[in-house]
Amino acid sequence: MKRYLAFDLGAESGRAMLGSIGDGRLELEELHRFLNTPVRLPTGLYWDTFRLWHEIQQGLRIVARERKLGLDGVAIDTWGVDFALLGADGALVDNPRHYRDSRNNGMVERLCAAVPREEIFAHTGIQFMQLNSLCQLYAMKLAGSPALEIATRLLFMPDLFNYWLTGVQKVEVTIASTSQFYNPAARRWATELFERLGLPVRILGEIVEAGTLLGPVRAEVAEETGLDPDTPVFTTACHDTASAVAAVPAERDGWCYISSGTWSLMGVELDEPLINDAVLAYNLTNEVGAAGKIRLLKNIAGLWLLQECRRAWALQGNEYSYAQLAEMAGAARAFRAVIQPDVFLEPGRLPERIADYCRKTGQEVPEQPGEMCRSILESLALRYRQVLEGLETILGRPIAVIHIVGGGSQNQVLNQFVADATGREVIAGPAEATAAGNVLIQAMGSGLLGGLQDVREVVRQSFPLRRFEPRHTAAWDEAYARFERLGAGVSG
């Protein structure tokens, strides 16, 4: 039996997951769960980075001191785009910002005024979003950031924690590819773009593949946590979506995936990047996956909309579980209102803002939480249909099956909506795809597994899957026509 520890840090919470592999099967056990709550200061919105590091160490203590287990590997995956800047002494020169920080507002337009959109896309193949690392860095440059002036190294969030674990400053390729300054065709940093924008090339470090052995934990970490000092630390697919896609249990061609959580990442897996005018027009993105694959995908506002509504209702004294919200949504009247999920980017007052959106678009306003949740879930399903049709157009081939993985795969109401809206078979699971992918890529790195085919076979043998067939599709066609008429022009 081989044991690997996966730290999976999402935008809402983090977990330490113990993965045990034996007889071709993987068992996962959650050892430690913790909140990932951003901190708003007068200067902006930040991640509570030191708290996250404390929780990582606590997860290691649970393994070593409480469970008294040895590990064959440790790896960390996180959300994409956000980064830390280090000085010459290896210390943080500023606390990492949150991708929803308001300093990024309007930055896509300013970026494209400096370098044409087509040129940026030719270098990077990445969709344009104001949260991208390139926009964040350009915002710092325009503001004359002292941190950017003195920084000597940029590490993305999982790279930072890997550095604190091992003392090794390396950048893993799947997380680098979310930045909009990595070139997936040339497999290197897009240094020409950096120079055009007047950004410091010196901060760009060595890139390594998913499954790379970084080294043992630092002596101080071993002493603090009780780990064996020879415990190896690997880069997994450090972008959480890349780990999740590695664990998609596909066994035939003609599939796409939705990694469903705070964000919905919907796309296909390719052998090479697809960078052309049509992909730019659809605003799709080419991110690197495990084993050198390319994830051609669309980044869609996901269940964060439900999370924000739930948070707003809790502030009013009404606490609902996600299961309750899904049940209420399933019981509410269909197609009261549809929204464009991607216009709601910034946090705060989401039920009120959705209601305002519905008024502006001449629709019936969802009044009750169940009605609001149903509108959100229906609208997500319609958005998935829109992206699916775009992918089929780009690829010139049909997509027969949609695999939904991640925490959102447990929302059976949404799963059925997706099948109905798209007219495709939906296969849901595993819910713990990111943790499974994290562990299994460590197993690849250590030589236990040979490649993605082995990884996906272990997933199929290890986790129950649920299938949803389309039904009532005609009712969705009218709603889809209404959804498409909305466009994305109404502000959230």
Query: What are the tens digits of pLDDT across the range 138-150?
Result: 999 999 999 999 9
| Superfamily covering domain 248-429+450-492 | ATPase, nucleotide binding domain (3.30.420.40)
Percent of the chain having pLDDT more than 90? 94
Q: Collect all residues with Cβ–Cβ distance below 8 Å to 149 and sequence separation of at least 6.
A: none
Determine the average pLDDT of the residues in 122-129: 95
State the pLDDT at residue 486.
86
Sign of the alpha-carbon dihedral angle for 307, 311, 313, 317: positive
| E strand residue ranges, 289-394 | 294-301
| Confidence class for position 492, pLDDT limits 50, 70, 90 | very low
Query: What are the tens digits of pLDDT across the range 33-60?
Result: 999 999 999 999 999 999 999 999 999 9
State the pLDDT at residue 196.
96
State the pLDDT at residue 109.
98
Concerning whether 230 is annotated as a catalytic residue, the answer is no
Query: What are the tens digits of pLDDT across the range 171-204?
Result: 999 999 999 999 999 999 999 999 999 999 999 9
Domain ranges in the chain with CATH number 3.30.420.40: 2-240, 248-429+450-492
Q: Collect all residues with Cβ–Cβ distance below 8 Å to 169 and sequence separation of at least 6.
A: 86, 90, 153, 155, 159, 163, 205, 206
State the pLDDT at residue 11.
86
Query: What are the tens digits of pLDDT across the range 206-265?
Result: 999 999 999 999 999 999 999 999 999 999 999 999 999 999 999 989 999 999 988 899
Determine the average pLDDT of the residues in 395-415: 96
| Confidence class for position 488, pLDDT limits 50, 70, 90 | low
State the pLDDT at residue 487.
77
Which of the following is catalytic: 72, 240, 253, 420? 240
Give domain 2-240's CATH architecture: 2-Layer Sandwich (3.30)
Which residues on neighbouring strands pair with residue 74, listed in sequence order?
A: 5, 233
Type of residue numbered 248: V
Evaluate whether 448 touches 440 at the Cβ level (below 8 Å).
no
Evaluate whether 72 touches 445 at the Cβ level (below 8 Å).
no
Question: Is the N-terminal amide bond of 430 cis, ω within 30° of 0?
Answer: yes
Q: What is the pTM of this model?
A: 0.91
